[in-house]
Amino acid sequence: MSEHRAQVDELLADYRRSRERLASVQRELSAVTASESDPDRLVTATVGARGTLTKLEISEEAYRRYRPAELADAIVRVTAAATARALSEAGEIMAPVLPAGADPLLEGGEVAHARHAAEEGSYEDRNWVTR
């Protein structure tokens, strides 16, 4: 019976360690933010761990320098770049708690679409959640 009790105690200890680690990962993920700006620093987008836009700064000069479509493109471009960085950072945080070979952020999904759009410079018709 004491061997069985030792096994149960070890399982409970493993469970507690796992819960603590997951709570720590959750705290780290909630703190993830990434910001990107256009080359002239007229437009800056800040996103959270899932790529959700949390802050958008547009300088007065941007309204004078960019036409509306160009400004919209700059906003989308910097938001996509910030999203790619935030998702990458979130993936790094999650990787240690996932099984070997597991993809923390569905590479080929959100991260790949954001990276592809940022590299290609095209943001039209992009669905960064599904393929």
Does one domain contain both 81 and 115? yes
Q: For residues 39 and 27, state if they share a domain.
A: no
Q: At 40, phi and psi to the nearest 5?
A: -90, 0
- Give 117 or 11, the one with higher predicted confidence: 11
Note whether 93 and 105 are within 8 A (CB).
no
Does 51 lie in the same domain as 20? no
Return the CATH number at 82. Answer: 3.30.1310
Are residues 23 and 85 located together in one domain of the fold?
Answer: no
* The total number of structural domains that make up the chain: 2
Q: Are residues 105 and 63 in the same domain?
A: yes
SS3 for 52?
coil
Q: What is the dihedral of CA 110, 112, 113, 118, to 10 degrees?
A: 120
- Same-domain status, 5 and 53: no
Residues 23 and 43 in one domain: no
The torsion region of residue 51 among left (phi > 0), alpha (psi -120 to 50) and beta comes to: left
Same domain for 25 and 49? no
At 48, which helix (H) or strand (E)?
Answer: strand 43-48
Task: For residue 45, give both structure tokens.
Answer: 């987008």
pLDDT of residue 36: 97
Domain identity same for 37 and 23: no
β-sheet with 43-48: strand ranges across = 33-37, 43-48, 53-58
The range of the structural domain enclosing residue 80 comes to 33-131
The more confidently predicted of residues 21 and 74 is 74
What pLDDT digit, counting tens, does each position of 65-124 carry? Answer: 999 999 999 999 999 999 999 999 998 888 888 777 776 665 544 445 455 555 555 545
Judged by DSSP in three states, 41 sits in coil
pTM: 0.68
pLDDT bucket at 129, cuts 50 / 70 / 90: very low
